[in-house]
Chain A
């Protein structure tokens, strides 16, 4: 059980920062006014919200399994398959939680509007300078929300990790799968223990988010013209 908890935490801890890096440019691009292509991309990014995790997991399994075109590219580097590996789990988590990172960050960028970037430009800040020194700090609330959501969402994954990870103890067995197996083995005590723990964890996460959100709102009240 300890091993499963450790794997789960590690997965969430690796996925969260990686996903922030991946999601930020996508969120920025989507937040700019633009063409219908953005709607298409936004829909693709949001797909994991509506797709059954098993469907997502199935396609990931196909893409990361041996004989896939993607793996053919990695073959020269000695990688034959990423299915049933921890790396595969991370890739699955990145895809699965992408909308939960992109959406809050995109909202934060949109709420900021174009004015701060224009002001920065008239103060001699290049685009990149303005992005780093104005857009990122002004959107920090979005980043915080995204981090918490992604972390919690990754902890709670079941379908995708089962499909792509195969529940190998010590490698790809996470706690949500562990609960399922405990119940199958009629090990109610362990199922109770982990489920109760996850309940408490989820509650604490949501409470923290609400409190942080309130503090932020209080601090930034009345700033926007």
Chain B
């Protein structure tokens, strides 16, 4: 079980959030830009300091009396842009995580899961956007996280790369509990049914949605979600 109760002010945003979510699978947090998604995720990781409680699988990361620093939380974090270390090769990036991992992780299995074996000797600058994000995912998994936080990991990718990487994220979600932040209902509908909505720093009921400016596919995805139909994982071969 993942338990989160956080509140505080960051910039113009007044965040006040309480939720619990099962300790497996993918939980999505949706909201417009500026609704506090990234702030919430950063606070859960300990990158920003908010008041409240965070516990993951019975381990307390933060409560009234203590605040574990980021590096002492068994957290994985995938940032919006693939933030691989430029001074290391792909393998060096993975080694960085392995050396400091909070538990033993089967490295070969992770490399296989994300299909990055051919990329290992390469320089980070020689990777495509999608490849970089896959390596970022592998690196986060290799650190042995109890919870993986993903902050719009597809936003820096083009349409093709997004299609390619979604099945990998689902596969990751089957291994480690994931909290997935996004503003894209289509993307979310293809990852999980479990969705929390964030607006102006508060969790809300499923919001009234404006369909203006959405594509046909996005509207269909919203309709499916609203009706509780499972999302068809069409054309990805990984479902």
Residues of A within 8 A of B (CB): 115-116, 118-127, 129-130, 133-134, 137-138, 140, 219-225
Q: Please determine whether A115 and B83 come into contact, CB atoms closer than 8 angstroms.
A: yes
Q: Please determine whether B71 and A125 come into contact, CB atoms closer than 8 angstroms.
A: yes
Say yes or no for B36: interface residue by CB 8 A criterion: no
A-B contact count (CB 8 A): 74
Question: Contact check: which of A124, A126, A225 meets B143 at CB < 8 Å?
Answer: A124
A–B pairs, 26, beta carbons within 8 Å: A116-B83, A119-B85, A121-B47, A121-B69, A121-B70, A122-B47, A122-B75, A122-B77, A122-B143, A123-B97, A123-B139, A123-B140, A123-B143, A124-B71, A124-B102, A125-B71, A126-B69, A126-B71, A127-B71, A129-B100, A138-B85, A138-B86, A220-B86, A223-B86, A223-B125, A224-B86
Q: Please determine whether A122 and B45 come into contact, CB atoms closer than 8 angstroms.
A: yes
- Name A139's closest neighbour in chain B (CB-CB): B87
* A94 to B223 Cα, complex, angstroms: 69
List B residues 211-235 near A (Cβ within 8 Å): none
Question: What chain A residues lie within 8 Å of B47 (beta carbons)?
Answer: 118, 121-122
Q: Please determine whether A123 and B69 come into contact, CB atoms closer than 8 angstroms.
A: no
Q: Please determine whether B79 and A115 come into contact, CB atoms closer than 8 angstroms.
A: yes
* A220 to B69 Cα, complex, angstroms: 31
List B residues 40-95 near A (Cβ within 8 Å): 45-47, 69-72, 75-77, 79, 81-83, 85-87
Q: How far is the CB of A95 from chain B (nearest CB, A)?
A: 32
Q: Please determine whether B100 and A125 come into contact, CB atoms closer than 8 angstroms.
A: yes
- Name B100's closest neighbour in chain A (CB-CB): A124
Question: Contact check: which of B72, B75, B81, B125 meets A220 at CB < 8 Å?
Answer: B125
List B residues 134-175 near A (Cβ within 8 Å): 139-140, 143, 156
Say yes or no for B19: interface residue by CB 8 A criterion: no
- Name A115's closest neighbour in chain B (CB-CB): B83
Q: Please determine whether A122 and B125 come into contact, CB atoms closer than 8 angstroms.
A: no
- Name A224's closest neighbour in chain B (CB-CB): B86
Q: Please determine whether A119 and B77 come into contact, CB atoms closer than 8 angstroms.
A: yes
Say yes or no for B101: interface residue by CB 8 A criterion: yes
- Name B72's closest neighbour in chain A (CB-CB): A124
Q: How far is the CB of A98 from chain B (nearest CB, A)?
A: 26
Which of A120, A127, A222, A225 counts the most chain B CB atoms within 10 A? A225
- A-B pairs, top 5 by smallest CB distance, nearest first, are A225-B81, A121-B70, A223-B86, A124-B100, A122-B77
* A64 to B76 Cα, complex, angstroms: 54
- Name B88's closest neighbour in chain A (CB-CB): A137
Question: What chain B residues lie within 8 Å of A219 (beta carbons)?
Answer: 125
* A156 to B29 Cα, complex, angstroms: 61
Question: What chain A residues lie within 8 Å of B69 (beta carbons)?
Answer: 121, 126
Question: What chain B residues lie within 8 Å of A225 (beta carbons)?
Answer: 81-83, 156
Known: A118-B70, A119-B77, A223-B124. 16 other contacts (CB 8 A): A115-B83, A118-B79, A120-B85, A121-B70, A124-B72, A124-B143, A134-B85, A138-B85, A138-B87, A140-B87, A220-B86, A220-B125, A221-B125, A223-B125, A224-B86, A225-B82
Q: How far is the CB of A66 from chain B (nearest CB, A)?
A: 49
- Name A124's closest neighbour in chain B (CB-CB): B100
Question: Contact check: which of B81, B87, B96, B125 meets A123 at CB < 8 Å?
Answer: B96
- Name A121's closest neighbour in chain B (CB-CB): B70
Which of B45, B97, B140 counts the most chain A CB atoms within 10 A? B97
Q: How far is the CB of A146 from chain B (nearest CB, A)?
A: 17
Q: How far is the CB of B212 from chain A (nearest CB, A)?
A: 31
* A115 to B82 Cα, complex, angstroms: 10
